[in-house]
Structures are given as structure tokens and as C-alpha cells.
Amino acid sequence: METVKFSKAVYALQAIKKAAYKFIDKISVNIRDEGENYLVDLIFSKEISPEAKIFILSEFSKEVLDQDLRESIKTETEAYRNLILAHVFSKTPLVTDE
Amino acid sequence: MINLYGKYEKLSVSNDYSGLLKLTTNELLPFPLRKQYGLISDTAKGDGFKIVLRKNSSIPSATASIKLSEEIHHLGNGDIVSIGADNNQLRVLFRKQSNQNSILLTERCNHYCLMCSQPPKINDDSWIMEEVKELVRLIPDDTMELGFTGGEPTLYGDEFIDLLSLCKSYLPRTAIHVLSNGRSFKDFSYAKKYAALDHPDLMVGIPIYSDDPVTHNFIVQSDNAFSETIKGILNLKALGQRVEIRVVLQRYSVERLEAIANFIARNLLFVDHVALMGLEIMGFTRSNLEELWVDQYDYKDKLSNAVNLLTSYGINVSVYNHQRCLVNDDVMHAYRKSISDWKNEYLEGCNGCARMDECGGFFSSSVKYKHSEFIKPFES
Amino acid sequence: MSKFQPIAFYAKPTENSYSLLPFKFSRFTNNRILLTNMVGEYFLLEEDKFQKFVSKKLGTNESSYIDLRSKHFLKDSSNEVAIDLLALKLRTKLSRLSDFTALHIFVVSLRCEHSCPYCQVSRQSEDKQKFDMSEEIAHKAVELVFRSPSPTIKIEFQGGEPLLNFELIKYIVVRAKQINENERRNLDFVIATNLAVVTDEILQFCSENKVHISTSLDGPKELHNKNRPRKGGDSYERAISGIKFARDVLGKDQVSALMTTTEASLSKVKDIIDEYIENDFDGIFLRHLSPYGFAIKTKSYASYSTEKWLDFYKKGLEYIIEINRNGLFFQEFYASTLLKKILTSEETGFVDLMNPAGIGIAAVVYNYDGSVHPSDESRMLAEMGDDKFKLGSVLTNTYEEIFGSEALLNPLEESFSSSNPMCTDCTYELYCGADPVYHYALHNDFVGRKPESSFCNRNMSIIDYLINRMEDDPFVKKLFYKWANR
């Protein structure tokens, strides 16, 4: 098992969960709240090689960052995104005049 | 060069021989029409005509008769003149032979362009509008094209729209070309009135002298000119009206010529025509000549780049008022032999040039005051 | 004459008197920064000037200030109209999106007499019942076509080899034209065929009904036949004679050709281009390696292949530029598509480079079995067993169910580039596109991680290259203006 620390001030919990979910086929994960940080225990299967372990750890961290950014950017750009998509569908029968 | 002003000598007068008049050389014009016309003839009695105009003889007639001075002997059938009663002066308002009759509506202007060939005056010259309204009723309706210039024609506001409406009524088949700085059209309701005319063949030529607003404002000597002109253009195009962009090429506009072409291509792609025009040495151009002059030969590559950029984007472009030997071959698809027939001349050194028939020649003012140092006849 | 004011009178001289308009930026060659404004117009600026610009310390007399102002990177009191112009340009760029689906692909048969190794969809079979589209399905699909609000409709026939079910092509053309008598859209037809089985009767029909031909020409004979085996080993010969035949009957402009790039193509770009020139085509589309098939799950496809392909592409592009310099006008169509986005406010409708993604919005595929897919690639995925993007069936679903399907809306929303990390800040965002199908196929996710994405890598590399070439070489700039406006 390896434990990774993520500062609460920097990373959203949702992002950590989403990243953990993506690795569900390779590892099981336990997320703990400890003061200013989230602690994530990554539990590997016994047969895993050291190289594979390192690879998964680095991929996991990347994934947390990715998911975190996706979430914040998605929220920030929601209004613009909805406007454009509404414009795209504006002449189809899917958008009704309400 | 053809004179549009002349003097006359009174041979015999009547009470009512002054004002606007159509001219004819047809002595046999049906009687009921004659009082609307002046007869050009050296010998005829001219019964029933409003006035008889002599060129080479001094025979008076029973009706009014005058002898035209030398410089207006070009007058002929179909021309329209204004005869001034008290000052023995005659103004040529419309020339049948010309394919580019251009009618000045006012000398007032809200710009003060560094190279203005018709320097603005502030006097109230609204009498001109009255005269033009009368003129439009006299112009033959098979006239192909008519131009309205100034000063700034739209300073007349609604009256200008009325004039255009009169043109539509009396000259429905005549193409109308208006020169304006376009700022009045920033007011959408005015642009709408213009559009509501629904004229069959109307275009407004609007100058933009730079992609840089400060340079443009400087050249036209008015703050905010750039923004308001562009807004005017956008309104006109939103209402489906035809717009031409005119760029007079002098030092300040030539400096950024390629940037201007790029600006038009990216921002004003929908304009109907772009006119790139050589400098005419008249009016303010003469007084500012040293500051404004740039030799056409020195910018011919910039001109090529600008023309070809606009052409690549599918924009109609024309190059006016440049001599053939001062442009590269790659602008020939846009090159026009355009100088109005009343301004066109050549230099002595041009004799024998093999491409003279391709060339637009010079403004008389260019011959007189300043032209390129690089004029050279083609050998083949 | 002192009654004229000097230029300084009209300039606004004080520092800090301008505001920044929205733009994105990145480092470029030779210590320059590349900026793109809100509508994707680019500008190159030396780094030190850039620093001054963003700290509001750039002097209003400097030429870079004047350029930045007239290209809509900054606003001061003399160019209020910049906002109106930016708004107009943005509306222009986005206006075609609401026209919705213009390209409607009909897979009229999976049967094919070729057995190209890179093809994922065709079947060597005589079983028409099993692998041909039926009239019932065609009838329903044509009705769906005209539910699209697009004023321009292009119906494209694909397969397998569509000419093997020519009767159905005729049925669809006739039916579509019938409906169009009331609908009055701009209606176009094209058949994507290898031309191996084309006949006079087929071409006569195409001529009468203004149907275009798009065929495959992978390169010179050896390469083409190696890529595209068929019984008799004569794919190339048939393609060439088919092209001539089709041009004779339909007209030269109605026949176009596409290539598929394989491993074997990568060392032969000049030969491939020469083949197109020799056969009188006025351009070529140098396509990227298709990731579909066995390559799809191998990560190694991504890095190794992308580098080799970029090498292939750039060599090809340089060769084409030389050809133009030597007097023959010849286009590369992928570059032209990117250049149209870089140099104009027009949109291209090119499915792979659209945001929101072109799936469904720009194109839709009606498969032989009635299933509906939002793009050709997603149809291929389905044939390989993954139904992720399947929208429904013409036999059982309505237009609203198909285009309102979560299978379409989810990837559209999730892959929206302005909402994705890195894309949202990318200087080239408006030149590029979202490709959820590609990213799902390779990365199991509609978005992927862009630094790992060969789609991203490829496009950024090409756009960098195009801009560098334009800025270095006035001839190339002029040439690219022409390509952008075709």
C-alpha cells in the first residue's frame, strides 16, 4: 500500500474520487480526511511489480490534477458552453420556444 | 481639360433667359418643347426657343441670344447649363458626352482631409440643393450613371434622402454613386431611411484611410471619425446597402497599405468594392504636398501586395489614377483607365509609349505640379 | 498651414489608458510570443514588447501598439468600434453551427470486392440480404435527412463498395429529389467509390442527376495495389480508368480523389503527390494515419506513428509549395482547411476540426442495418463492437430521440474544448476541434489528456509549421491566402 497526500487548499475532493474511480480496475482506494490534507491509500494487488507500482502512482497523481482542472474549468465556462450549444441546436425541433 | 465654367456675351436679351437650361442642336425641335431648350446654332433664328447660343457668329435673334466664350465651345446636344443673368457667367451642370457626371451638392463638410481636392467652406450653400432638385428633373433618363459629391452630402439630412428619391422617380434606370464619409449612417434610423428608398442601383463610396484609427482621424482631421464611419458602414451593410471603400494613396495611407488591405479582408469582407486611388494635386493636396507626396513607383510592391491580398479574399478591387509604367503587371486585373475625361493628359516624354492605350494618363494638375520621377515609356 | 492638427492631437498619449481585449498566447520561435485574439486572428510580438503590452506600459506611438490596436488585441478611446467588429466576426464564425447537420452518409452496403487491410467495415460476401441496406431503411433515413434544418444537404454514399448496391442509390437519389421539390434545399450527392465496378449506365445516371464521384487513389500503382488488394490485383488500373471514364461523362470537376495513408505510404510522399499531379488533380488531402483497427489499443501507435507521419506531412507540404513556386497551382487540403480557420472568419464544416464536435452536428451516418451514428469513425467503432456513440435506429427512433440522445449530447458537452484543460488556454483553440470519438477510441475518454493526445500533438505541430512558413516566406503567405479562400 502507498499513501499519497493532497492539500485541501489545492485539490477538490470530487477530483480525487473521480481519479480513484478511473483506476478501480487496477487498485482499490481509501480516502481519508486529515486536517489540511486528503490522504489517499492506494492498495495494490500482491503480484504487482515495482515498476508498475511507480507507473500507477504517477498516473494517479496526473489523473487527480486532470480531473480537478476539468471540474473547475467546466464550472467557469458553463455559461459560455450552454450558450454555444443552445445556438447549435436552436433550429432543430429539440429546442422549443418556452 | 474641359471647362465647366465660362462667360458669354449678350447679343439680345429677354426677361427670362437665365436659370437652368437643356441644350439642343436640333432646329426642328417640336414647337411646344422649344421653350424648355437653348438652341446651339451659329445661324438659326431659333423661334420659340428660350435662348439661342452662338459660338462663332454674333448674329442676334428675335428671342434671347448669347455668344459663348472660347472655353465652353465644347457644349453640345444634350448638355445642361445654368445661365447667370447678372454676371454673364454660364455653368455646365451636366455633360451628355461624359460617362461620369458628378454633381456637387455642397461645399460644407464635417471633415477637413489633408488631401481634400474640394476644400470645405462653411457658408450656407443650400441653394445648390434647390438647383440640383431642378436639374434632376431635366437630366435625360437614359443617363447611365450619376454621382453626388461634396463636401459631405449627408449634411442635408432628410433632404438628401428626398433628393435620392427624386432620382428614383425621374431617373429610375440611372445608377447613383454617392461619395460620403458615412458617419451620418451611424444613426440607424437614418440608415433605415436611406435603405427604405429601395433604390435599384445605388452605391455609397466611403473613405477609410488607415486600419489605424488615429491615422485615419488625423488624415480627415476629425476625432472619432474612424469609429463612426465604420459603424455607418456596418449599419448600411446590415440593411443590405451597397458600400464601396475608397482609399486615397498618399504618404500616411501608403505606409500601412498592406495593413489596410488585411483590415478590410478580416473586418469588412462584405463590402461591394474597394477603390485604391492615386493623389490628385488639387485643393489641400497642393498646400500639403511636401508632407503628403509619395512616388507611386516607390510603393508599387506594396500596392501589388494589397491588391492581391484583397483579390485572394474575393473582394472586388480597382486601382485608379496611376500611370501604367508605375504599377506591377500583377495588378492589371484591377487597373482602371479611369481619370475623368475632363482631366486626362500625358507628358511629352510619353510619346511613343507602346502601352499608352492601357494607361489612364495624368490629371492635368499632376502634369502641372507634380508627378512621379519614374515615368518611362514602354518599348513593347 | 496651421489650421491642420498634427497626428499627436488625435493620439491618446498617456500610458495605462488602454484595456486588453480577450486573447491567448504562447511562446513562439525567435523569442517571439504568438497571440490570438477572440476570433482567432494571430499576431507575433517580441517578448519584451509583449511584457510591456500586458503590463499596460506599451507606448501609444509604438508600431506594435498601433498593430495590436487595429488587430483587436487592445482597446482605447479611439477604437470603440473594435467591440462591434469582434462581435460581428464571432457571430460570422458561429453562424453556420445552427444550420446543423449538412452531411448525411448512407452506408448502402457492406459488401466489397476489395479487401483492404486498413478497412474495418467491409465484408467479402455475396449475401445481399445480410449486408445491404433495404428500401424500408433507406426510405425512413431519407425522411430523417430532411428533418435537419440545414439549407445545404449533401448525401454521401459509402460502403463497403456502394456501387454494389446501385439500385438503392438510385432509389435514394430519386426519393430525395422528390422531397426536395418542396423543401428547396441545396441538395448535392456524392458516391465514395473505388470505381472498380463502374459502368456506363451508372455514370449516365450520375450525370443526369448531378451526382459527384469521390474515389480512392493511394499513390502510384505499386503502393496503391499493395494497400488495396482485390482479386486480379488491378485496383490501381481500374481506379485510373474509372477516373477517366467518370470525368468523360460527368465532367472533370465532378470527380475527386482521396488517399489513405498507411505505413507503406510514409516514405513515398513525393511519389504520391506526383501521382495526383500526373492525373490532373488540383490538390491532395494528405490524411493522417487511421488509428482504427488493430492499432487502436496499442499506445505505441500514438508516439512513434505521429512523428513519422508529421515528417511525411511536412515533406509533402514543402514539395507542394515548391510545385507552386514553379508555377503550378496545387493545394494541400488539410492545410487549406486549417488556413481557412486561421485567415478568415469562415467555418469549414470539416467534422474533425469543429468545436462543438462535428459529430451529429455536422454529419450523421445511416448504416446498412438502420442504426444511426454521429460520424464515420463512430460507425467504424460500432462495427468493431463498441456501441458507445450509437444514437438509435431509423426503424425504431424518432428524429428527436436520435439527435436528443445522451449518446450524442454527452460527448458534445464533455468534449467542448473551451471547457477542457489545456484547450481552454490554447492559442490555437479556434483553429482546432474537439474529437471525442478519436479520444474515446484511443484513451477511453471523450477528452483524453491533451499532452498525451496525438490528435493534439499533430494539429499543434502543423499549425506551428504553417504560421512559421507564412511569416518566413512572402511567397508562402500569398499562396496560403489563396488556399484559405478556396
Search chain C and give the residue with CA nearest B232.
C81
DSSP letter, residue B285: H
Kindly list the residues from chain C whose CB atom is less than 8 angstroms away from the CB atom of residue B212: 66, 69-70
Q: Per the domain annotation, does C477 fall within a domain? A: no
pLDDT at residue C302 is higher than 60: no
**Cβ of residue A62 closer than 8 Å to a chain C Cβ:** yes
Predicted local confidence at residue C14, as pLDDT? 53
Predicted local confidence at residue B95, as pLDDT? 94
Q: From CA C217, how far away is CA C243, in angstroms rounded? A: 10
3-state helix, strand, coil in chain C (%, to 5): 50, 15, 35
DSSP, collapsed to helix, strand or coil, labels residue C42 as: strand
Q: Do B215 and C41 touch (CB under 8 A)?
A: no
* C287 and C169 in a common domain: yes
**Cβ of residue A84 closer than 8 Å to a chain C Cβ:** yes
Which residue shows C-alpha cell 447649363? B81
Last residue of a domain, one of C386, C406, C426: C406
Query: Which is it for strands B175-179 and B202-207: parallel, antiparallel or unpaired?
Result: parallel
Interface test with B, best of C2, C3, C4 (most B CBs within 10 A): C4
Closest CA–CA distance from residue B152 to any residue of chain C (Å): 19
Kindly list the residues from chain C whose CB atom is less than 8 angstroms away from the CB atom of residue B114: 4
Closest CA–CA distance from residue C38 to any residue of chain B (Å): 13
Give the list of residues 6+ apart from residue B313 with CB closer than 8 angstroms, or none. Answer: B265, B269, C344, C481, C485
Q: Is B99 exposed, middle or buried (0-12, 13-18, 19+ CB in 10 A)?
A: exposed
- Phi, psi at residue C165, to the nearest 5°? -125, 50
Predicted local confidence at residue C294, as pLDDT? 46
CB B342 within 8 A of CB B254: no
Fold topology of B101-368: TIM Barrel (3.20.20)
Predicted local confidence at residue C12, as pLDDT? 64
Closest CA–CA distance from residue B47 to any residue of chain C (Å): 55
Give the list of residues 6+ apart from residue C48 with CB closer than 8 angstroms, or none. Answer: none
Average pLDDT score over chain B = 93
Confidence tier at A61 by pLDDT (50, 70, 90): very high
Kindly list the residues from chain A whose CB atom is less than 8 angstroms away from the CB atom of residue C356: 84-85, 88
Q: Per the domain annotation, does C129 fall within a domain? A: yes
Q: Per the domain annotation, does C430 fall within a domain? A: no
Confidence tier at B42 by pLDDT (50, 70, 90): very high
pLDDT at residue C15 is higher than 60: no
CATH code for the domain in which residue C335 is found: 3.20.20.70
* Whether this model's pTM surpasses 0.90: yes
Confidence tier at A80 by pLDDT (50, 70, 90): confident
pLDDT at residue C300 is higher than 70: no
Confidence tier at C296 by pLDDT (50, 70, 90): low
Search chain C and give the residue with CA nearest B287.
C1
* Residue-level length of chain B: 380
DSSP, collapsed to helix, strand or coil, labels residue B146 as: strand
**Cβ of residue B179 closer than 8 Å to a chain C Cβ:** no
Mean pLDDT within C354-381? 95
The interface pTM score, or ipTM, of the predicted complex is 0.92
Chains B–C, number of C-beta pairs less than 8 Å apart = 77
Q: Do chains B and A touch (3 or more CB pairs under 8 A)?
A: no
Interface test with C, best of A25, A60, A61, A92 (most C CBs within 10 A): A92
- Phi, psi at residue C218, to the nearest 5°? -85, -15
Q: Do B288 and C1 touch (CB under 8 A)?
A: yes
CB C439 within 8 A of CB C445: yes
Mean pLDDT within B210-221? 96
Q: From CA B192, how far away is CA B238, in angstroms rounded? A: 10
Could you tell me which residue, B98 or C319, shows the higher pLDDT?
C319
Q: What's the structural domain count of chain C?
A: 2
Could you tell me which residue, C294 or B274, shows the higher pLDDT?
B274
CB C364 within 8 A of CB C103: yes
Closest CA–CA distance from residue A65 to any residue of chain C (Å): 10
Chains A–C, number of C-beta pairs less than 8 Å apart = 57
Q: Which three cell numbers stand for residue C339?
A: 488556413
Q: Do A70 and C421 touch (CB under 8 A)?
A: yes
pLDDT at residue B309 is higher than 90: yes
Give the list of residues 6+ apart from residue A65 with CB closer than 8 angstroms, or none. Answer: A11, A15
Of the candidates B224, B231, B259, which has its C-beta nearest C70's C-beta? B259
Q: From CA C133, how far away is CA C218, in angstroms rounded? A: 28
Kindly list the residues from chain C whose CB atom is less than 8 angstroms away from the CB atom of residue B263: 70
Q: Which three cell numbers stand for residue C98?
A: 445552427
Q: Which three cell numbers stand for residue B23?
A: 441644350
Q: Which three cell numbers stand for residue B100?
A: 461620369
Q: Do A94 and C98 touch (CB under 8 A)?
A: no
DSSP letter, residue C289: P
**Cβ of residue C218 closer than 8 Å to a chain B Cβ:** no
Q: From CA C374, how far away is CA C364, in angstroms rounded? A: 5
**Cβ of residue C7 closer than 8 Å to a chain B Cβ:** yes
Last residue of a domain, one of C64, C94, C124: C94
Kindly list the residues from chain A whose CB atom is less than 8 angstroms away from the CB atom of residue C413: 81, 85
Q: Do C98 and A77 touch (CB under 8 A)?
A: no
What does the angle CA C409 – CA C413 – CA C414 come to, to the nearest 5 degrees?
115
* C122 and C65 in a common domain: no
Predicted local confidence at residue C477, as pLDDT? 97
* Residue-level length of chain A: 98
* C290 and C193 in a common domain: yes
* C257 and C284 in a common domain: yes
The identity of residue C75, as a single letter, is K
Could you tell me which residue, C446 or A24, shows the higher pLDDT?
C446
Give C393-425 pLDDT, tens digit per residue.
Answer: 999 999 999 999 999 999 999 999 999 988 998
CB C238 within 8 A of CB C280: no
What domains can be seen in chain A, in order of their start residue? 2-88 (3.30.70)
Which residue shows C-alpha cell 441644350? B23
Give residue C63's domain range: 7-94
Kindly list the residues from chain C whose CB atom is less than 8 angstroms away from the CB atom of residue A91: 98-100, 149
In angstroms, what CA-CA distances link B31 with B37, B39, B141, C404, C473? 11, 12, 21, 80, 74
* C107 and C77 in a common domain: no
* C104 and C69 in a common domain: no
CB B306 within 8 A of CB B318: no
Q: From CA B376, how far away is CA B353, in angstroms rounded? A: 8
Last residue of a domain, one of C383, C406, C429: C406
Q: Do C78 and B227 touch (CB under 8 A)?
A: yes
Of the candidates A70, A77, A85, which has its C-beta nearest C356's C-beta? A85
**Cβ of residue C84 closer than 8 Å to a chain B Cβ:** yes
DSSP, collapsed to helix, strand or coil, labels residue A32 as: strand
- CATH 3.20.20.70 domain extents, chain B: 101-368
**Cβ of residue B231 closer than 8 Å to a chain C Cβ:** yes
* C175 and C26 in a common domain: no
Q: Closest by alpha carbon to B274, among B216, B328, B330, B203?
A: B203
**Cβ of residue C418 closer than 8 Å to a chain A Cβ:** yes
Q: Do chains B and C touch (3 or more CB pairs under 8 A)?
A: yes
For chain C, what percent of residues have pLDDT higher than 90? Answer: 79
Q: Per the domain annotation, does C336 fall within a domain? A: yes
Search chain C and give the residue with CA nearest B217.
C10
pLDDT at residue C434 is higher than 60: yes
Q: Per the domain annotation, does C461 fall within a domain? A: no
Least confident range from A72-86, B124-138, B224-238, B305-319: namely A72-86
Q: Do chains C and A touch (3 or more CB pairs under 8 A)?
A: yes
Give B165-200 pLDDT, tens digit per residue.
Answer: 999 999 999 999 999 999 999 999 999 999 999 999
Predicted local confidence at residue C120, as pLDDT? 72
Give the list of residues 6+ apart from residue B44 with CB closer than 8 angstroms, or none. Answer: B27, B52, B61
Query: Which is it for strands C331-332 and C363-366: parallel, antiparallel or unpaired?
Result: unpaired
The total of other beta-carbon atoms located within 10 Å of residue B141's CB is: 9
Could you tell me which residue, B215 or A80, shows the higher pLDDT?
B215
DSSP letter, residue C287: P
Least confident range from B126-135, B366-375, C60-69: namely B366-375
Q: Per the domain annotation, does C452 fall within a domain? A: no
Q: Per the domain annotation, does C47 fall within a domain? A: yes
Q: Per the domain annotation, does C259 fall within a domain? A: yes
State the Cα torsion C305-C158-C334-C239 to the nearest 10°.
90
Give B80-116 pLDDT, tens digit per residue.
Answer: 999 987 788 999 999 998 888 999 999 999 999 999 9
Search chain B and give the residue with CA nearest C9.
B218
The identity of residue C464, as a single letter, is D
* C291 and C192 in a common domain: yes
Search chain B and give the residue with CA nearest C87.
B267
Confidence tier at B339 by pLDDT (50, 70, 90): low
pLDDT at residue B13 is higher than 90: no
Predicted local confidence at residue C60, as pLDDT? 87
Report the neighbours of B using a cutoff of 3 or more CB pairs below 8 angstroms. Answer: C
Mean pLDDT within C133-147? 97
Kindly list the residues from chain C whose CB atom is less than 8 angstroms away from the CB atom of residue B259: 67, 70
Could you tell me which residue, C464 or C128, shows the higher pLDDT?
C464
Could you tell me which residue, C200 or B367, shows the higher pLDDT?
C200
Of the candidates A70, A80, A92, which has its C-beta nearest C100's C-beta? A92
Could you tell me which residue, B14 or C30, shows the higher pLDDT?
C30
Confidence tier at B341 by pLDDT (50, 70, 90): low
Q: Do C97 and A88 touch (CB under 8 A)?
A: yes
Least confident range from B41-45, C163-167, C388-392: namely B41-45
pLDDT at residue B141 is higher than 90: yes
Predicted local confidence at residue C1, as pLDDT? 46
Which residue shows C-alpha cell 458534445? C412
Q: From CA B352, how far away is CA C2, in angstroms rounded? A: 44
Kindly list the residues from chain C whose CB atom is less than 8 angstroms away from the CB atom of residue A94: 400, 403-404
